[in-house]
Each structure stands twice: as C-alpha cells, then as structure tokens.
A = this chain, B = another copy of it.
Amino acid sequence: MVLRASLEKKEEKEKVRAALMRAALHLAAAHGFASLGLREVAREAGIAPTSFYRHFADMEELGAALVRELAGRILRDFGDRALAAPKGSAVVHVVQSMLSAVARDPELLHFVVAERVGASASMRALLREKLVGLARTLHAAATGEAASASSPPPIAAEAAVVLVMDAAGVALDAPEARRAQLQESLTWAIGALLAAPAPEGKETP
C-alpha cells in the first residue's frame, strides 16, 4: 500500500512539526502568540514559509495543537504527580511539579498561563477544560475520594488550580531566589482553601 508511509518518513515529518511548535512557543514567549506570523514561525523552525502548510492549515491550527498536545500533557502530568503522592502531600507535589515545569520548560508554561486568559476564545475554552480536569484530580488526590467527571469539581480545588497557574506566571518573572518563598506561600494558601469547610453544606460551585 502506498497509503502507509515508512516509519522513518513519518518520524522525519514529526520532527519538523515539533520544530514548528517549539518555534511558536519560543516566539510567543517574547511577543505573544496572537501576534505571531506564519513566516516568522517557519523561519525560526528553519523551513521555507510554504512548507508550513505541509503541517498546519494556519496559525490557529498550530495553536490548537499546542494546547491539545503540549499544554494538555503538562497539565495531565501535574495531576498524575498528585495522584502518585501520599494523600497528605498531594498539594505539595502539585506545587513542586508546577515549579519544576517552570524551570524545565518556561516557554510552555508562559504559553499556558497567557492563553488561559488570552485573545482566542476557543483556546481559552480548551485550556479551561483541562484545568477543570486538573482541579478534579487534585481534589481526588487530596481527599482520597474518586474523581467524578460528571459533577463540577469542588470550588476549593478550582480556586487552588487558579492560584497554581497564577504562581506559575509570577515564578516565570521572578528570580530563582524568590521561588522558594513562592512555593511556601502557595502551599499555605492552597492548604487554607482545601481545609476550609465547604460552603452551604454542598460542594458544587
């Protein structure tokens, strides 16, 4: 069959696609994703402008891939770390994995933090969905209850995720020394939220 390209060819293509996504993240950290041009991204990735179309129809599609693939993976990782930790330290683990992600891949974190409230409504919606998932997971990890995908997550867990994402933004701008303090403050604030009695006897926001 002609339809199935060789593994090697597929991998080659995948590398260029990944290079385009990394190039976009890199440039977005400097000027914001909404202001990126197709030619600018192709140049940064080392391909001809016209080759861009072999991978994405336009910049919007590239942005959606960034959210779905890279952003989705790192947010899922935060949740996985919380679930893998002993119940009492779920919060500490989420905070630590966020801070290590900031150190390891600042451009991706900047993208997530910015696009969460950015200009594109579809990106905002996609990211919010993934953050709601993280809130659910965090709640399950901290309480030991099973995560339910149907009901809304407890508002304390949602607020905790908001604080985590904001702290990522602050950490990105802060010098190394400031980050330890940040970790303490953040852990305290999330602990305070999760320890507080749920409002009006129910946990649905």
A→B interface (CB under 8 Å): 28-32, 34-35, 113-114, 116-121, 124-125, 155-156, 158-159, 162-163, 166, 169, 173, 181, 184-185, 188-189, 192-193, 195-196, 199, 205
A117 near B121 with CB under 8 A, answer no
| Residue from B32, B116, B125, B185 within 8 A of A32 (CB atoms) | B32
| Inter-chain contact A159/B119, CB cutoff 8 Å | no
16 pairs, A vs B, C-beta closer than 8 Å: A32-B32, A32-B120, A34-B35, A35-B119, A113-B117, A114-B119, A117-B166, A118-B118, A155-B185, A156-B189, A156-B192, A162-B162, A166-B166, A181-B205, A192-B196, A195-B196
Q: How far is the CA of A193 from the CA of B185 in the complex (A)?
A: 12
Complex Cα–Cα for A193 and B121 (A) = 30
Complex CA gap A70/B163 in Å reads 26
Most chain B beta carbons < 10 A, residue from A28, A117, A119, A173: A117
Q: Which of A29, A124, A155 has the most CB of B within 10 A?
A: A155
Q: Which residues of B contact A124 (CB under 8 A)?
A: 173
Q: Hey, which chain B residues are within 8 Å of A185, CB to CB?
A: 155, 158-159, 199, 205
Inter-chain pairs besides A162-B162, A185-B205, 14 sampled, C-beta below 8 Å: A30-B119, A31-B34, A32-B34, A113-B117, A114-B117, A114-B118, A116-B169, A117-B117, A124-B173, A159-B189, A162-B163, A189-B193, A192-B193, A196-B196
| A166 contacts B155, C-beta separation under 8 Å | no
B195 touching A118 by the CB < 8 A rule? Answer: no
Q: Assess A166 versus B162: contact at CB under 8 Å? Given A32-B119, A185-B155.
A: yes
- Cα–Cα distance between A192 and B195 once the two chains are bound (Å): 9
Q: A34-B35, A189-B155 are in contact. Are A173 and B121 (CB under 8 A)?
A: yes
Separation of A15 and B182 alpha carbons in the complex (Å): 44
Measured CA separation A102–B32 after assembly (Å): 24
